[in-house]
């Protein structure tokens, strides 16, 4: 699929210079943001701590080191970051093994991007072991590559994940459309210079320059994405 990447600056549709689409995973393609919080609540309950629901906005969308570290510090739980990371990944895997609900419009969008051979990457703060489990359900054929949070020097909100994806596809980040659901992911994509489409999952996110907010992936199709990036 990487052979279909257009040359830099080449129009992929009348008036459009879209070169690739880069997609977040949790809360964007799969309805799993709540899974992470449920697992965190369950683990800390077992350690004798109750998580404050307002903390959910702090930990959503971020790298596990940040979210897990915050919860350990906030609760004073007697557990190391390494131990908690293992428990979180295992708890999440158990849940997606039982059910992996797609976000409305996700399957249609992936099918359309594949049909028109649009270079597409999955870019997530989740670890590789989690991404590979989810990819098996999403359909790995829809993605030219994937970038995991434990494979880059700095994960979201830093630009590294999206810069890595763009480099892997051989495209200009400024000609990429990113679809995200959290402020952390949006910050990462914008720092990389991409145009971002936001489908907020947990907390509201306001529109801004090179940032378009929609209520659902059902509002997003290839024509919409192409219209965001013009010469």
Walk along the chain (231 residues) and give the pLDDT tens digit of each residue: 333 333 334 444 444 699 999 999 999 999 887 888 899 999 999 999 999 988 887 777 667 788 889 999 999 999 999 999 999 989 988 888 888 899 999 999 999 999 999 999 999 999 898 899 899 889 999 999 999 999 999 999 999 999 999 999 999 999 999 999 999 999 999 999 999 999 998 789 999 999 999 999 999 999 999 999 976
Nearest to 225 by CA among 204, 201, 202, 195: 195
């Amino acid at each position: 699929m990487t052979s279909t990447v257009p040359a830099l600056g080449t129009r992929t549709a009348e008036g459009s210079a879209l070169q690739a689409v880069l997609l977040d995973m949790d809360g964007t393609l799969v309805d799993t943001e709540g899974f992470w919080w449920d697992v965190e609540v369950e683990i800390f309950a077992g350690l004798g701590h109750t998580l404050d629901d307002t903390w959910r906005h702090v930990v959503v969308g971020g790298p596990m080191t940040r979210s897990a570290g915050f919860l350990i510090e906030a609760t004073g739980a007697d557990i190391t970051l390494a131990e908690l990371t293992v428990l979180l990944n295992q708890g999440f895997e158990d849940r997606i093994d039982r059910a992996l609900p797609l976000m409305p419009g996700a399957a249609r969008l992936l099918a359309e991007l594949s049909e028109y051979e649009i270079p597409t990457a999955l870019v997530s703060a989740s670890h590789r072991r989690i991404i590979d489990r989810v990819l098996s359900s999403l359909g790995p054929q829809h993605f030219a590559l994937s970038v995991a949070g434990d494979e880059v020097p700095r994960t979201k909100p830093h630009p590294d994940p999206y810069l890595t994806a763009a480099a892997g596809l051989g495209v200009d980040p400024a000609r990429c459309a990113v679809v995200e659901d959290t402020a952390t992911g949006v910050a990462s994509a914008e720092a990389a210079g991409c145009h971002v489409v936001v489908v907020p999952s947990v907390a509201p996110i306001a529109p801004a320059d090179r940032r378009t907010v929609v209520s659902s992936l059902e509002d997003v199709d290839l024509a919409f994405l192409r219209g965001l990036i013009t010469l």
